[in-house]
Amino acid sequence: MYVTDPIADMLARIRNANMVFHESVDVPSSKIKMEIARILKEAGYIKNYKVVSDPKKPYSSIRLFLSYGPSRERVIQGLRRISKPGRRIYVGHADLPKVMGGLGIAVISTSKGLKTDTEATQLGLGGEVLCYVW
């Protein structure tokens, strides 16, 4: 299956699984998706992730274990893809966005790898705004 925007596909899979309270969701693996999963885990939006290889499939997957609150409230309230293949959005270090007044995170692709908006601000880096998570 060919996907034009793999990051948007990953975010849609997470959003759909989160809406119906699935415990985990599988997404096709790539380096950038592994880094996004790492950032989501560090920020507390998912419990964990691991690489799963199925001998029936030609590619490996990343299994994301979604996190919910004590009374089944969703930790991930929303996901939005910002920079798309048809329109890339770049920001300088002085113009980094604050998601939901600082309650969410923005994933930024910088020259030093993927960073959250707060990490990029501390390092003085700008880059491409991949997505917002709140």
Range of the domain at 83: 79-133
Question: Which pLDDT does position 77 carry in this prediction?
Answer: 95
- Comparing CA positions, the residue from 73, 119, 42 lying closest to residue 127 is 119
CATH code at position 39: 3.30.1370.30
CATH code at position 129: 3.30.1490.10
Mode of pairing for the β-strands spanning 105-110 and 127-133: antiparallel
Question: Which pLDDT does position 39 carry in this prediction?
Answer: 98
64 neighbors 72 (Cβ within 8 angstroms): no
> Any alpha helices (H) in the chain, and if so which ranges?
6-19, 31-43, 117-123
Question: What pLDDT band is residue 54 in, cutting at 50, 70 and 90?
Answer: confident
Residue 2 predicted with pLDDT over 80: no
List pLDDT tens digits, range 95-131: 999 999 989 999 999 999 999 999 999 999 999 999 9
Please indicate, yes or no, if residue 73 is contained in any of the structural domains. no
Mean pLDDT score of the chain: 95
